[in-house]
């Protein structure tokens, strides 16, 4: 089975590396004008890994799609709509399975990424998401993990999980696409909060953040039509170690930099997801105090310690019946 990976960033380059490792011919595509693409073509390496010689790198989108039996998309979430518009112009693309290896929500609309893809590519395209814990830096040195593939087509989710599972990544298949997508996107917001705690030297509070964060997001998932239990699986709670504690976590590092007053130049998808979740909070009339606190910090409307004090001095409530 030929695999085309669209994107040349950290996760995309890993996906091409991983496909080759498990015996699948792989091609990786990036924008011709992108410095990341140019560097990858020139050196076949980035800060995370070196691509095997068998992996072809191209900036020709039509060539990349024609090569593929399965299309993996791993780009910045806010660029998905534009890419999908380009894909529908390529003959035969809409009949090939598309696997979104991305975690986010569209900033301006609050839509899940599969909803964005459906709007641009139609309902007939076979579509799934691949989410869960793991960093390329760990995978390439042989540290295994478990992840999940979910779809509104249960047969597709199961087949893709079977095709891509290996001793390095054990893949489960899910049955709650809403929960998987929302859980994966919002864990990045909790990751930003964790970085803020690190910056304040309040790291021991991460346990409370994990528990209350999962509870908060479960209410959002249910309001959107998903299953509460999904949040406590691999897409969200299962990804907390990689997001709230790992030195490789961009979202945690962003939160730490924010508190420290230092610039951060890498992609932290939780920033865009925070805007989206605040819109969803209003839409569903939900109180999401942790997400709201992160949103307030991002808009520079409060000091971090003041925000933290407000979170921990809220009215006493039952742990599970209400937030």
**Three-state secondary structure string covering 23-84:** CCCEEEECCCCCHHHHHHHHHCECCCCECCCCCEEECCHHHHHHHCCEEEECCCHHHHHHHH
Residue 317 has pLDDT above 70, yes or no: no
**Arithmetic mean of pLDDT, 202-209:** 92
Least confident of 98-107, 257-266, 298-307: 298-307
3-state secondary structure of 135: coil
- Does residue 66 register a pLDDT over 80? yes
- pLDDT above 70 for 114: yes
Terminal alpha carbon distance of the chain: 47
Q: Could you report the per-residue pLDDT of 123-169, keeping only the tens digit for each?
A: 999 999 999 999 999 999 999 999 999 999 999 999 999 999 999 99
Whole-number pLDDT of residue 306: 75
The answer on pLDDT for 189 being more than 60 is: yes
Report the topology of domain 178-312: 1.10.1040
Between the CA of residue 261 and those of 50, 300, 309, what are the distances in Å?
A: 33, 11, 20
Whether the model pTM is above 0.85: yes
Catalytically active residues are: 187
pLDDT of residue 145: 97
Domain extents for the chain?
3-173, 178-312
- Residue 199: the pLDDT is 92
Say what the pLDDT of residue 323 is: 47
Burial (CB < 10 A; 0-12, 13-18, 19+), residue 3, is buried
* pLDDT at residue 120, as a whole number: 97
For residues 53-62, give the mean pLDDT: 96
Residue 301 pLDDT exceeds 80: no
State residue 279's pLDDT score. Answer: 94
**Do residues 213 and 290 lie in contact, with contact meaning Cβ atoms separated by under 8 Å?**
yes
Q: What span, in angstroms and rounded, lies between the C-alpha atoms of 25 and 209? A: 42
Q: What is the mean pLDDT of residues 197-221?
A: 94
Higher pLDDT, 21 or 261: 21
Confidence of residue 307 (pLDDT cuts 50, 70, 90): confident
pLDDT score of 7 more than 60: yes
Given this model, what pLDDT does residue 123 score?
94
Instruction: Compute the mean pLDDT over every residue in the chain, rounded to the nearest whole number.
Output: 93
Ranges of beta strands (E only) in the chain are 3-6, 26-29, 56-58, 70-73, 98-100, 127-131, 145-150, 169-173
**In the Cβ-directed half-sphere of 31, how many Cα atoms lie within 13 Å?**
12
Highest mean pLDDT: which of 210-214, 266-270, 310-314? 210-214
pLDDT at position 313 is 65
What's the fold here for domain 3-173? Rossmann fold (3.40.50)
- Which ranges of the chain does DSSP label H, i.e. alpha helix? 10-21, 35-43, 61-67, 80-87, 113-121, 136-139, 154-164, 177-199, 206-223, 240, 250-260, 270-283, 289-298, 304-312
The pLDDT tens digits of the residues spanning 18-57 come to 999 999 999 999 999 999 999 999 999 998 999 999 999 9
Specify the higher pLDDT residue, 302 or 161.
161
Lowest-confidence range among 70-79, 147-156, 307-316?
307-316
């Amino acid at each position: 089975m030929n695999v085309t990976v669209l994107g040349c960033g950290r996760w995309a380059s890993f996906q091409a590396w991983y496909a080759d490792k498990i015996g699948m011919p792989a091609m990786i595509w990036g924008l011709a004008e992108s410095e990341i693409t140019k560097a990858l073509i020139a050196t076949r390496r980035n800060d995370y890994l070196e691509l095997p010689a068998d992996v072809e790198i191209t900036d020709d989108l039509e060539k990349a799609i024609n090569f593929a039996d399965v299309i993996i998309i791993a780009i910045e979430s806010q660029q998905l709509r534009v890419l999908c518009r380009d894909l529908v112009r390529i003959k035969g693309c809409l009949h090939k399975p598309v696997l979104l290896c991305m975690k986010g929500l569209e900033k301006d609309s609050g839509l899940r990424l599969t909803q964005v893809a459906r709007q641009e590519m139609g309902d007939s395209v076979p579509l799934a998401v691949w989410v869960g814990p793991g960093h390329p830096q760990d995978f390439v040195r042989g540290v295994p993990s478990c992840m999940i593939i979910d779809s509104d087509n249960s047969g597709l989710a199961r087949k893709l999980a079977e095709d891509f599972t290996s001793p390095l990544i054990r893949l489960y298949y899910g049955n709650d696409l809403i929960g998987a997508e929302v859980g994966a996107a919002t864990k990045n917001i909790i990751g930003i909060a964790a970085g803020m705690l690190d910056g304040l030297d309040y790291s021991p509070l991460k346990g409370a953040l994990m528990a209350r964060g999962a509870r908060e997001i479960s209410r959002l998932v249910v309001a959107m039509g998903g299953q509460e239990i999904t949040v406590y699986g691999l897409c969200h709670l299962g990804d907390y170690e990689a997001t709230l504690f790992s030195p490789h976590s961009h979202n945690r590092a962003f939160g730490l930099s924010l508190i420290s007053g230092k610039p951060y130049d890498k992609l932290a998808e939780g920033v865009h997801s925070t805007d989206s979740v605040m819109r969803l909070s209003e839409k569903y009339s939900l109180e999401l105090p942790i997400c709201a606190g992160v949103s307030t910090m991002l808009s520079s409307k409060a000091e971090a310690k003041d925000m933290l004090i407000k979170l921990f001095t809220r009215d006493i409530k039952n742990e599970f019946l209400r937030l």
